[in-house]
Chain A
Amino acid sequence: MPTLTAKKISTRPSRPAPELIFGDLWEFDPAPETADPKLKARYDLFINGQFVAPKSGKYFDSINPANEQKLAEIAQASAADVDVAYQAAKAAYDNVWGKMPGRERAKYLFRIARLLQDRAREFAVAETLDGGKPIKESRDFDVPMAAAHFFYHAGWADKLDYVAPGRRVAPLGVVGQVIPWNFPLLMLAWKLAPALAMGNTVVLKPAETTSITCLKLAEILQDAGLPPGVVNFVTGAGDVGAAVMNHPIPAKIAFTGSTEVGKIIMRSLAGTDKKMTLELGGKAANIVFDDAPLNQAVEGIVNGIFFNQGHVCCAGSRLLVHEPVAEQVLTKLKNRIKVLRVGDPLDKNTDIGAINSKEQLAKITSLVASGVKEGAVLFQPSGRLPTKGFYFRPTIFSGVSMSHRIAREEIFGPVLSILTFRTVDEAIEKANNTAYGLSAGVWTDKGSRILKMSTELKAGVVWANTYNKFDPTSPFGGYKESGFGREGGRQGLLDYCKLI
């Protein structure tokens, strides 16, 4: 794109390059969200409709990543607890839930959705305390979307005769589910709602660092009068996850998490007749052409990579920019991230909260160091970070090439790698040159180019002139090492049933 002035006056007096000042002339006062998260000091396992102590009698601490303070104690489950949970789920499936008409199951799901809406602020604060994400995201995205998933699938429960035209559907039985720490409540809703609507019963393990909203949802399940055993929560680390995956009872395993763990699960389930859906990592390309509305594209890029501190499997972590506008986009991006507010996640004005855990912070730090070492150019805005807690500044790397580690590995943090391209074919080739294939973004004013790109990009979701848009009606899932199976929409439901 040409420069923005019509004719440059050649005799213009030389002055320093214009800069915008994003200082503290108008500094905002702290605006903390004050709703009570109503946390208990200790959370037990939720099995057969009751909170029960783990057989081991052991508990581990759940901390607030924003200040490293302890929030609650969480029960440490063992294989024996997992077995009890599966027995309860099997009994509930055989005796109650599997036989219940869909229209009756729908009532429970509607009730769960409404109770979650009633307690939305409480859940939002709990989610932010436990995971470190900004309150504005848990308040405006995580909790409302979780409720929306329950509503959507409640609507399906009495219409399952129409979900697969010409076929009849039946539930699978008991399903085992393991979810990650980046969207604890939302991933829980993505997993539970379709499974329950279809008539399955569930044993689910939340991530070790973010179990609290899951166990708070157990209170809602009790309040909703959900029959005992239909949903069971077991908490703990990877060994509990392995026990959930490898137990003989479940007819299906659903996992969202890293590709590394996904591969271990596939290996361990090979040779069994368990069904599987895996939603794994990503290294999405966000592709900006020279005819794109650049200011809005920059907004979308920021949304794509800094949403939830970049702890998003579909984060737009690789920015591919058309060479003619690369310089312009970089300048705009720098000016944009200078006004992102990093800090206390409970502050309503915070844009980037705390990194979820010390381990994750260490991983991000080491990958960023590798980017610097391999010769990419780093930019981070200045500004103070809180002294306690796990924080990382929004980071952009320019001058990245396809062989850099930061262009290939999933960083899962607020780090953007910028690459350039010259032609449409080069953009497609670079975008697809990755082991992953979860999502991609295309920014252009030209409709036909959007259609071409969306067919040629090997990604489960392609967003056009927007990024990170989700809806319960829209299936989400990956290609290649980003997994298989879909969540959301009719396609997501079909992954929780057998066709007869």
Chain B
Amino acid sequence: MLARSPHAALRRLFDEVGAVDAVGIEERVAKYGTRSIKKAAKLWGLKLAASMVDLTTLEGKDTPGKVASLCQKALCPHDPELGVPQVAAVCVYPAMVKHARKALGSDTAVRIASVATAFPSGQAPLKTRLAEVKAAVGDGADEIDMVINRGAFLSGEFGVMQDEIRAVVAACGDATLKVILEVSELETYDNIRAASFLAMRVIREGDFIKTSTGKTSLNATLGNNQVMIEAIRDYYLDTGVSIAMKPAGGIRTAKQALTFLVAIKETLGDAWLNNARYRFGASALLNDLIRQIAKERSGAYQAPYYFSEATESY
């Protein structure tokens, strides 16, 4: 009889989806950092990164006023003359969705993403979590960022974890779903790869997997990103279903963002170099991107206070 322990369940899952060598992953991603991106290529990359930002505020002290100013920043990140594109989305708590909708209006390309499902812990009854998703969608959210049940994953109850994701998919309706794995709580690259596959098998083409909530010690790293985009690639080549990716938290500088984009270019290719397939969950990043874009034009760096501050970093 097969062993029934959580460990044995994980072991069988690893055998099925393949393992990850931590040293190898870190060597691979170190090479992305040595790519030298200059001139036109740099400007193109910076603008692309800006268009991929999910401008985020997720704090207990968020107010309708704060969300409104975040939305203004999303619509017009800087002096239009500089040519900085609008960001992909704003990302707020469910209670703030209706305020964001009011600030953005209905005729806008900027999407509203809302973290739901008892973010960030997910430790609420499933019924409550689904109700939260439905409420956010009802208030006008275009995208839902859910957290997986890490407890279920770590105790080997993959069916429970997948059933919950399926239920959220159903609750989303037409809204895009982003499944947050919370990689720092999964701890190993093997677990991250396995959890990515479990999630991808129950979400729809165009839905996302996402690294983290931004609420724990370790968030998106190049290594986590690489494990997940390799999982996306392997799943795509196997099934033809394209899953999108969102690293979140910890990406603060333009240089970091470009390195993440190099990883996409060399792992998933051109089809993922757009904001339907790749996003950055970040807030401080946007101003650094704008600052670098301004520098490419003028040749000199401007002081940080030249750029409007609508968010605090997370």
Contacts and interface: CB of A to CB of B under 8 A. Distances in A.
Interface stretch (B11-19, B120-128, B212-220): B11-19
B20 A296 contact: yes
A18 B240 contact: yes
Interface in A1-39: 1-6, 15, 17-18, 20-23, 25-31
B270 A22 contact: yes
A296 B269 contact: no
Contacts, number: 112
Contacts of A291: 15, 19
A300 B271 CA distance: 26
B35 A28 contact: yes
Nearest to B274: A25
Contacts of A295: 18, 20, 24, 230, 234
B269 A465 contact: no
Nearest to B24: A296
Contacts of B233: 20, 335
A465 B23 CA distance: 9
B273 A26 contact: yes
Given A2-B16, A15-B240, A465 B21 contact: yes
A6 B18 CA distance: 13
B18 A294 contact: yes
B265 interface: yes
B24 A20 contact: no
A1 B14 CA distance: 10
Interface residues of A, number: 39
B28 A5 contact: no
B20 A29 contact: no
Interface in A129-163: 136, 140
Nearest to B18: A294
A293 interface: yes
A259 to B, nearest CB: 31
Nearest to B17: A4
Contacts of B45: 26
A348 interface: yes
B22 to A, nearest CB: 9
Given A26-B44, A27-B41, A293 B273 contact: no
B18 A26 contact: no
A294 B25 CA distance: 11
Given A20-B268, A26-B48, A300-B24, A1 B38 contact: no
A391 B292 CA distance: 36
Interface of A is mostly: loop
Interface in B35-56: 35-42, 44-45, 48
Contact of A28 (B16, B18, B20, B37): B37
Contacts of A299: 24, 27-28
A274 B40 CA distance: 60
Contacts of B35: 28, 348-349
B270 to A, nearest CB: 4
A21 B42 CA distance: 21
Contact of B238 (A4, A21, A293): A4
Contacts of B48: 26
A479 B15 CA distance: 36
B41 A4 contact: no
B34 interface: yes
Interface string B217-232: 0000000000000100
Contact of A293 (B16, B20, B235, B270): B20
A339 interface: yes
A48 B39 CA distance: 49
B3 to A, nearest CB: 18
Interface string A334-345: 010001000000
Contacts of A20: 233, 236-237, 268-269, 271
A373 to B, nearest CB: 32
Interface string A278-300: 00000000000001111111011
B261 interface: yes
B268 to A, nearest CB: 7
A31 B25 contact: no
Interface string A167-198: 00000000000000000000000000000000
Nearest to B162: A6
A491 interface: no
B108 interface: no
Interface hub of B18, B35, B45, B268 (most chain A Cβ within 10 A): B18
B201 interface: yes
A425 interface: no
A331 interface: yes
Contacts of B21: 293, 296-297, 465
A26 B265 contact: yes
Contacts of A348: 34-36
Nearest to B35: A349
A296 B265 contact: no
Nearest to A300: B24
Contacts of A136: 34
A171 B34 CA distance: 43
B32 to A, nearest CB: 11
Nearest to A340: B266
Given A4-B17, A293-B21, A299-B28, A22 B36 contact: no
Contacts of B239: 4-5, 18
Given A294-B18, A296-B28, A465-B24, A22 B269 contact: yes
Contacts of A2: 16
Contact of B235 (A4, A31, A335): A4
B269 A6 contact: no
Contacts of A4: 16-18, 197, 234-235, 238-239
Interface in A277-328: 291-297, 299-300
B273 A140 contact: no
A400 B261 CA distance: 36
A18 B19 CA distance: 23
Contacts of B18: 1, 4, 293-295
Contact of A23 (B16, B238, B270): B270
Contacts of A5: 201, 235, 238-239
A31 B271 CA distance: 25
A4 B261 CA distance: 26
Nearest to B269: A20
A104 interface: no
Contacts of A21: 269-271
A20 B42 CA distance: 23
Contacts of A239: none
A445 interface: yes
A117 interface: no
A31 B262 CA distance: 15
A473 interface: no
Contacts of A466: 23-24, 27
A331 B44 CA distance: 30
Nearest to A4: B238
3 closest Cβ pairs, A-B complex = A296-B24, A31-B36, A296-B21
8 contacts: A4-B18, A20-B271, A23-B269, A25-B265, A296-B24, A299-B28, A348-B35, A466-B24
Given A20-B271, A26-B270, A296-B28, 4 more contacts: A17-B240, A295-B20, A348-B34, A465-B24
